[in-house]
Amino acid sequence: MKVLTIGDVVGEAGIDTLYTLLRRVKRAQGADFVIVNGENAAGRGITPAQADDIFSAGADVITLGNHAFGKRQIASYLDEHTDVLRPANLAPQSPGQGWGIYDGPQGLRLLVMNLLGRCDMPYGPDNPFLCADKILRDNEGKYDIALAEIHANATSEKLAMGYYLDGRAAAVWGTHTHVQTADNRINPKGTGYITDIGMTGPVVSVLGVCPAQSIAMFRGDLTEPFQTAPGECALSGAVFEIGRDGVCSSVTRVWERCGR
């Protein structure tokens, strides 16, 4: 089985890129299941219409992150759509859910969990490590393969989660920093891992934002609200090849340009 994970989709440009490239990449990689992080589809957050668009582009599951509720109209959508996951370690009264079990290829049951890091993040969710333990414990015997996304700022926290779930999850990948890392590998007990799978959106940008605006912010200038950068876009992610025994045999980075 091959699981294709796609990094943070930024703005309508990122959604357009999914429409252009996702199904082609899925075919080329032989992917059986697609997980897309959509928390930046509206810049900060995602709307119901954008979630529908991401599914139409070819996603099986959408994950979110620290901007999960940036657009409040997504709240009721999350309660109605179990294939959109907000972070599992948010307050328990939060709309939606942070994990789900889905039908995969060859009758496999896939447990997907969405975790939010705490290091250098703007608010304090529950402990993601203990949350992962609880999800796995509560669902023991109900799934065949576990997959975990950790949406976090610190590379150390993502690395720690990769080793913490080594041998218990088939794949662990990071999102949030929008820069694809080159440390794709198999951890000692057979878990596929990469610290960050990157972003899907404008190539000439700072995390999807117009460079001039980002530079102005770092200079300390007065700035207008961030705008998604124009120009050529790319899709970024990773493919995990996983056996029926839950052991990952390869992790392949994906990065493909498209014109706009």
Measured in whole angstroms, the distance separating CA 228 from the mean position of its chain's CA atoms is 19
Distances (CA, A) of 163 to 7, 57, 156, 157, 242: 21, 32, 11, 10, 17
- First-to-last alpha carbon distance for the chain, in angstroms, is 32
Considering the entire predicted model, what is its pTM?
Answer: 0.96
246 contacts 17 by C-beta, under 8 angstroms: no
Across the beta sheet with 185-186, the strand order is: 99-103, 109-116, 145-151, 171-175, 192-194, 185-186
What whole-number distance in Å separates Cα of residue 9 and Cα of residue 16?
10
pLDDT by residue, tens only, the chain of 260 residues: 999 999 999 999 999 999 999 999 999 999 999 999 999 999 999 999 999 999 999 999 999 999 999 999 999 999 999 999 999 999 999 999 999 999 999 999 999 999 999 998 876 799 999 999 999 999 999 999 999 999 999 999 999 999 999 999 999 999 999 999 999 999 999 999 999 999 999 999 999 999 999 999 999 998 788 888 999 999 999 999 999 999 999 999 999 998 54
The pLDDT assigned to 123 comes to 66
The pLDDT assigned to 224 comes to 81
252 contacts 3 by C-beta, under 8 angstroms: no
Torsion of CA 9, 72, 136, 170, to 10 degrees: 0
What whole-number distance in Å separates Cα of residue 137 and Cα of residue 98?
15
Backbone angle region of 201, left / alpha / beta, with phi > 0 → left and psi within -120 to 50 → alpha? left
Q: Which two tokens stand for residue 100?
A: 């789900």
The pLDDT assigned to 260 comes to 45
Question: 67 catalytic, yes or no?
Answer: yes
The pLDDT assigned to 223 comes to 79
What whole-number distance in Å separates Cα of residue 19 and Cα of residue 60?
14
Q: Indicate the pairing of strand 2-6 with strand 33-37.
A: parallel
The pLDDT assigned to 120 comes to 87
